[in-house]
Amino acid sequence: MASYDVIVIGSGPGGYVCAIRCAQLGLKTACVEGRETLGGTCLNIGCIPSKALLHASHQLHEAEHNFAKMGLKGKAPSVDWKQMQAYKDDVIGQNTKGVEFLFKKNKIDWLKGWGSIPEAGRVKVGDEVHEAKAIVVASGSEPSALPGIEIDEKVVVTSEGALSLPKVPKKMVVIGAGVIGLELGSVYARLGSEVEVIEFLDHITPGMDAEVSRTFQRLLQKQGLSFTLGAAVQKVDATKTKAKVTYKLRKDDSEATVDADVVLVSTGRRPYTDGLGLEALGVKMSDRGQVETDGHWATSVPGVYAIGDCIAGPMLAHKAEDEGMAVAEVIAGKHGHVNYGVIPGVIYTHPEVANVGETEETLKEAGRAYKVGKFSFMGNGRAKANFAADGFVKILADEQTDRILGAHIIGPMAGDLIHEICVAMEFGASAQDLALTCHAHPTYSEAVREAALACGDGAIHS
């Protein structure tokens, strides 16, 4: 029986980051992973492969729509789907091997197989039982199924199947206008599929600032995606090559059907804790299947912690990473902390969409007086030069104190731009602090400064 200070179960961004931080803090650490490669959903079948396909398909879009305008003449490239898949697989390989390298470098043992916790202080992997002073459950999440829909990962797919379809479908129906549906829907729309998104709510991207959400939908429509909103999908009838999606319009209960070559079911994810033996162990679970934890990621069983998608909060790789680092600090007797008020969210479409903190809707609901500083990328020289002037930056600041409460960006590199606002918020900055900070010209980040200026005496270029 091998003995460890910490055994982390799951090697996704939560688990592997936690294991590395534990090792850095001098703890003898192992990480259990049953997949052939490390990195979990994010690296193998999620964030990373989808970004490879988004990048490749965006290049095609640029070639088809913008090259000629810049004097770059010639036929746009055609899609070699097999090669695009090979590129994506290579990107996955580089990233998962990178984590394996980091494990070796930090002397973390990879316990290969699926783990369970027969009792506190013990982790079973295959036939072997290992001892651990602390156990961190970082087992992640899986797509949540809808009743009446059977997933075959060929015609009716989740995000996993959608990343490796045998060919680009003629018609794709996406169920759910959330992050996954819009990112992968964008990929296939750019590659030539007719993409129809069916969404239960009357707007896309639930929880997002309403103005951004409306602009986002309009821009996606311009790119060829179509939307059926206020529609509850009832069932999907599939053969080996085709599917028929039946939905009910909420406004009048009328039923309609739509045919598709591929149906992507992207209606959310749920915690994955199967086979861990948590209930037998007495770990308290919420009625949504999440592991319940206290402010220090401790479960109801002493010595067992949980982080990432399997606990409450947004299902985001970076939230899991932060929790992974913080719980490692706690286990090492230090002070781990995550500021849940400053966790950015990004959708990697084109334009990108990014947000942090409060929305106008949440501020109104809380009855908090706020001001809005908004700046359109139309007034940003760099964006205009790069055919990227669609969208805007919106900063929400406290009416009295000017403290930044939230920010919403739709536009070029929004996912990177949001971080200067995150840093500002971590320091409790005012919009004026951002406005008084010199920003290099010409950069997209000038739009952030202009939005901050707009919270005060006004932006210059609007």
Residues forming the site for ligand NAI (CB under 6 A): 146, 175-181, 183, 198-201, 206, 232-233, 266-269, 314-316, 346-348
Side chain identity at 322, as an amino acid letter?
D
58 is catalytic: no
Closer CB to ligand NAI, residue 38 or residue 315? 315
Closer CB to ligand NAI, residue 28 or residue 171? 171
Per-residue tokens: 346: 């990004």
What's the min distance (Å) between Cβ of 323 and ligand NAI? 15
Please identify which of the residues 337, 350, 419, 441 carries the catalytic annotation. Answer: 441
Closer CB to ligand NAI, residue 320 or residue 453? 320
What's the min distance (Å) between Cβ of 51 and ligand NAI? 9
What's the min distance (Å) between Cβ of 32 and ligand NAI? 23
Contact by Cβ (8 Å): 410, 212: yes
Q: Which has the closest alpha carbon to 241: 117, 156, 150, 127?
A: 156
Residue 431, by phi and psi: left (phi above 0), alpha (psi -120 to 50) or beta? alpha
If DSSP codes are grouped into helix, strand and coil, which group holds residue 200? coil
Closer CB to ligand NAI, residue 176 or residue 324? 176
Separation CA 226–CA 63 (nearest Å): 23
Q: Are strands 243-249 and 115-119 parallel, antiparallel or unpaired?
A: unpaired
**Residue showing tokens 């494990």:** 103
What's the min distance (Å) between Cβ of 251 and ligand NAI? 14
Separation CA 426–CA 319 (nearest Å): 15
Phi, psi of 166 (to 5 degrees): -65, -30
Closer CB to ligand NAI, residue 25 or residue 229? 229
Q: Are strands 352-357 and 404-411 parallel, antiparallel or unpaired?
A: antiparallel
Helical (H) or strand (E) element with 323: helix 317-331
What's the min distance (Å) between Cβ of 314 and ligand NAI? 6
If DSSP codes are grouped into helix, strand and coil, which group holds residue 17? helix
What's the min distance (Å) between Cβ of 250 and ligand NAI? 10
Q: Which has the closest alpha carbon to 291: 338, 323, 328?
A: 323
Closer CB to ligand NAI, residue 32 or residue 347? 347
Neighbours of 239 (CB within 10 A): 8
Per-residue tokens: 381: 């020289």
Please identify every residue annotated as catalytic. Answer: 441
